[in-house]
Structure 1
Amino acid sequence: MSAPIRVLVCDDQVLIRTGLATIVDAQPDLEVVGECADGATAVDLAGRLRPDVVVMDVRMPVLDGIEATRRLAGAGVEHPVRVLVVTTFNLDEYVYEALRAGASGFLLKDAPPERLLHGIRTVASGAALLDPDVTRRLVGEYAERIRPSRTDPADSPLTPRELEVLHLLAEGLSNGEIAAALFISQETVKTFVSRILAKLGLRDRVQAVVYAYRHGLVS
């Protein structure tokens, strides 16, 4: 039997933090190794407790979740920790910055418990997680800020088919949904996604979505 996934929960609201920890700790394959109320403590605890995943709020005192994520998972971090941002999107306009800081994914706080648990397991496995509802609203609500520059598709290293896959990925579609939309197999979709990440020098699907929005490759 494999060791449980070690989870650190960081949220400054006690009821939310306790609720998240209770949901996670009730699973036989998950273990809450620590809780905290601010980003600075999260960084400190992550260094000592070595969690597999940090469930991170964004708006917190002392050190916000964006900077904490950057210190835990950003470029150049020697031993990066996977961060799953759980946020209230309507109140939080910093989701995009959190993803740029290195978060492996995000969920809405009103997501059902099973989606949270799936998200933790997904991120722990090395994959990225994007909440489709939030992904589809990123461009609509923050289009100008998210896309400071445009890249001519002709100048992109991606093929037209790869750009098509990136477009659907950026809209929050799963591999299965992309496969159905393009009438190809899920394995083929996985191959396309791997090629996109390799060509663009990106770590995961989250970074691919950020790249697509930032460079205006999707509308």
Structure 2
Amino acid sequence: KHRPDILFTSDDLEQGYGIDLVKEAKLVSTEIKALIFLRRETKEVVDEALDAGADGVMFVSSVGSGNGDFIQSLLTTLKGGIYYPADVRDLARDNKQLNDAPVIDYQLTERELEVLNAIVGGLSNKGISESLFVSTETVKSHVSTIISKLGVRDRTQAAVFAIRHRIVG
């Protein structure tokens, strides 16, 4: 009803399931930034959170440890980036599927791979433009091309796809 800018939730709510809340919020407003804190550190739960479209995923156990910083996740997502720390990315990689799947060449240029790696690293378009010394319009063009080549809906899905298929680190 109020279209908030950001949603904070955990997977373990008093009433309902936080990942379902993220899905519903994203259906109502694609612009909402969703941060989810997971109590259960399993591949299945991480996959659910990523599939729901969470822009930031952290484990509750990592909050305050330096491995998953709440403030960093908040700042990153509010600037338009995504926040998937290394421990989340590691669980999201699908080793079995990769071993069974044929190698697919997505025909990304070297620059597009740099942009995709920056997206996975949580950088916003502005952050990418500053780190690669190009205009934000050029970054937007690269992001659009990446999304098209990977056949995904948005930059969050592009990051999830890249992590799962080990396109970038």
The TM-score, its normalising length taken from structure 1, stands at 0.53
Q: Pick the aligned partner of 1:70 from 23, 33, 47.
A: 23
User: Is 1:207 the counterpart of 2:157 in the alignment?
Assistant: yes
Q: Is the 8 A contact 2:49 2:57 kept in 1?
A: no
- Point out the structure with max Rg over C-alpha: 1
Q: Return closer, same or farther for 1:72/1:178 CA change in 2, 3 Å cut-off.
A: closer
Q: Return closer, same or farther for 1:196/1:68 CA change in 2, 3 Å cut-off.
A: same
| Deviant stretches of 4+, over 6 Å | none
Task: Give the aligned CA root-mean-square deviation in angstroms.
Answer: 3.5
How far did 1:119 drift? 6.2
Q: Is the 8 A contact 1:158 1:199 kept in 2?
A: yes
Q: Partner residue of 1:52?
A: 4
Q: List aligned pairs for 1:164-175, cutoff 5 A.
A: 164-175=114-125
Q: List aligned pairs for 1:24-43, cutoff 5 A.
A: none
Q: Return closer, same or farther for 1:169/1:147 CA change in 2, 3 Å cut-off.
A: farther
Q: Pick the aligned partner of 1:101 from 41, 49, 52.
A: 52
1:127-159 Cα shifts (integer Å, max 9, x gaps): x4323xx433333x3154477336746x21433
Q: Is the 8 A contact 2:33 2:77 kept in 1?
A: no
Alignment gaps of 5+ in structure 2: 65-69
Q: Return closer, same or farther for 1:163/1:197 CA change in 2, 3 Å cut-off.
A: same
How far did 1:202 drift? 2.8
Q: Is the 8 A contact 2:18 2:36 kept in 1?
A: no
Q: Pick the aligned partner of 1:142 from 72, 91, 97.
A: 91
Report the 3-state secondary structure (helix = DSSP H, G, I; strand = E; otherwise coil) of the residue aligned with 1:55. strand
How far did 1:99 drift? 2.4
Percent of residue pairs identical: 31
How far did 1:86 drift? 3.9
Q: Partner residue of 2:143?
A: 193
The TM-score, its normalising length taken from structure 2, stands at 0.65
Alignment gaps of 5+ in structure 1: 1-48, 123-127
Higher-RCO chain (CA-CA 8 Å, sequence separation at least 6): 2
Name whichever of 172-181 and 52-61 sits farther off.
172-181
- Paired residues in the alignment total 154
Q: Partner residue of 1:129?
A: 81
